[in-house]
Amino acid sequence: MAQRSRTTFQKREREKALQQKQRDKDVRRLEAKERKASREPLSGHEDPDIAGIKPGPQPLPEQWQWAGDDD
């Protein structure tokens, strides 16, 4: 009978750990939601990753230009 009670106890401990993990996850979600809501919007700002890029073919970087090119 000791085997049976030990397994039940271990199962209950696992369930408690899962419940705690879910509560922690819920708290992190709420914190992230609050951070996102309190952050000021980026209206009018340009994305720094694509700043200065125009649609269409881009000019080649200087180090890729041919030595004989006089464009």
pLDDT tens track for 4-36: 667 888 999 999 999 999 999 999 999 999 998
Q: Report helix, strand or coil for 45.
A: coil
pLDDT for residue 48 is more than 90:
no
Predicted pLDDT of residue 22: 98
Alpha helices in the chain (DSSP H): 2-38
The residue whose two tokens read 């041919």 is 66
CA of residue 22 relative to chain centroid, distance = 19
Spatial separation of the C-alpha atoms in residues 23 and 15, rounded to whole Å: 12
Q: Where are the domains of the chain?
A: 1-38
CA of residue 16 relative to chain centroid, distance = 28
